Amino acid sequence: MANIVWMQTGACSGDTMALLCADRPSLENLTQQYGVSFLWHPSLTAERRFGEVLEAVTSGREKLDILCIEGSLMIGPNGSGLYDTWKGRAKIDIVRQLAPLATHVVAMGTCAAFGGVHAAGPNPTDCTGLQFMKNEPGGLLGPDWRSRNGQPVINVAGCPAHPNTITKVLAMLAENEPLKLDALNRPSAFFASLVHQGCTRNEYHEYDIEDDVLGGRACMFFSLGCRGPQTEAPCNTELWNGHSSKTRAGVPCFGCTSPDFPSDRDLFVTPKIGVVPKFLPLGVARAKYMAYKNLARAAAPERVVKREMEP
């Protein structure tokens, strides 16, 4: 049995909604097959009050296997944390108290991982992530903090996080399976591929056939702000609700699993240097990219140029 305390700080409940949508494994499978027990969740547990659970865990009467934090951590005003409280007590102080008692600490969503929406400028409440502030290690707990098993905070990034990534990570932790993390402390198994991989618009991207307005079938990277070629996430390798993704629905990827989300620029515009995107796909050299794209566009099949369906 793996005991979970799921605490919401500066949150919109998006990751909780995602949790309810998971199907591989589902929430029911998580509790019945993998033995996960929610000691506390603000929306899913009703038999106990948070204060009772907090006392039981901090006194050592009940073990805490996994502490999940949903939402950014509000440090303000002036480091007091009093913008976000529980019964007059700053939630950041409760997080600091619970985190050392947990075997694993999981940041559920980009807000808890990196600060997210609430940490975007001008950030009046001094929001941060648990162990990162945007790209910089630190956050609420500091870069050197480690949980009882010696791991840093596990960042299940996304706005919201992918439903099945949430439940798979919790199942792996409950089963004591090793969980390798990337440089941003995200589980590598779920953040090793780009949103671009598996995108149904890939052929248009390769031939530099772009859309300038929403609603078309071509690539949205060149003009409409899509960050799929720069964003590591499972969205097109494991479809949402087993059915679709943003790019398949004709919406640009906004890079919500990245530490710099949300961008401080227009989401539907691609910044360029001349005619070339300012921010290129991950690992691509600018000179080679320019030469390749010029040749690719000239070689584009007529059906691609005309946005026709493949026969």
The boundaries of the domain holding residue 202 are 193-311
Torsion of CA 2, 115, 190, 236, to 10 degrees: 130
Beta bridge partners of 273: 276
Q: Which one is predicted more confidently, 265 or 219?
A: 219
Q: What percent of the chain has pLDDT over 90?
A: 89
Indicate whether 109 and 160 sit together in one domain.
yes
Which of 190, 212, 238 corresponds to the end of one domain? 190
Place of tokens 């949402």: 240
Q: Domain total for the chain?
A: 2
Mean pLDDT over 185-206 rounds to 95
pLDDT band at residue 274, thresholds of 50, 70 and 90?
confident
User: How high is the pLDDT of residue 276?
Assistant: 83
User: How high is the pLDDT of residue 291?
Assistant: 80
Indicate whether 229 and 127 sit together in one domain.
no
Tokens of 76: 């303000």
Indicate whether 68 and 165 sit together in one domain.
yes
Judge contact between 37 and 4, C-beta under 8 A.
yes
Indicate whether 158 and 279 sit together in one domain.
no
- Work out the angle at residue 145's Cα, subtended by the Cα atoms of residues 108 and 27, and round it to the nearest 5 degrees: 25
User: How high is the pLDDT of residue 292?
Assistant: 81
pLDDT band at residue 310, thresholds of 50, 70 and 90?
low
User: How high is the pLDDT of residue 197?
Assistant: 93
Which of 190, 219, 236 corresponds to the end of one domain? 190
pLDDT band at residue 246, thresholds of 50, 70 and 90?
very high
DSSP readout, 223-258?
TS---GGG-B-STTTS-BTTTB-TGGGT-----TTS
> Residue type for 130, please?
L
Indicate whether 154 and 302 sit together in one domain.
no
Indicate whether 207 and 61 sit together in one domain.
no
Indicate whether 179 and 213 sit together in one domain.
no
Which of 190, 218, 235 corresponds to the end of one domain? 190
Indicate whether 12 and 93 sit together in one domain.
yes
Least confident of 54-63, 243-252, 281-290: 281-290
Q: What is the CATH number of the domain that holds 130?
A: 3.40.50.700
Peptide bond connecting 178 to the previous residue in cis, omega within 30 degrees of 0 = no
Whether pLDDT at 5 is above 80: yes
Cβ partners under 8 Å of residue 291, min gap 6:
none
Mean pLDDT over 36-62 rounds to 97
Indicate whether 168 and 224 sit together in one domain.
no
Whether pLDDT at 230 is above 70: yes
Q: What percent of the chain has pLDDT over 70?
A: 99
Mean pLDDT over 58-66 rounds to 98
**Directed axis angle between helix 163-174 and helix 14-21, to 10°?**
80
User: How high is the pLDDT of residue 4?
Assistant: 98
Indicate whether 176 and 209 sit together in one domain.
no
Judge contact between 218 and 209, C-beta under 8 A.
yes
Indicate whether 48 and 178 sit together in one domain.
yes
Whether pLDDT at 311 is above 70: no
Indicate whether 154 and 221 sit together in one domain.
no
Summarize pLDDT for 113-149 with one digit per residue, the tens. 999 999 999 999 999 999 999 999 999 999 999 999 9
Q: In what order do the strands lie in the sheet with 2-8?
A: 36-40, 2-8, 64-70, 102-108, 154-156
User: How high is the pLDDT of residue 288?
Assistant: 83
Whether pLDDT at 72 is above 80: yes
Q: What is the CATH number of the domain that holds 308?
A: 4.10.480.10
- Average pLDDT over the chain reads 95
pLDDT band at residue 265, thresholds of 50, 70 and 90?
confident
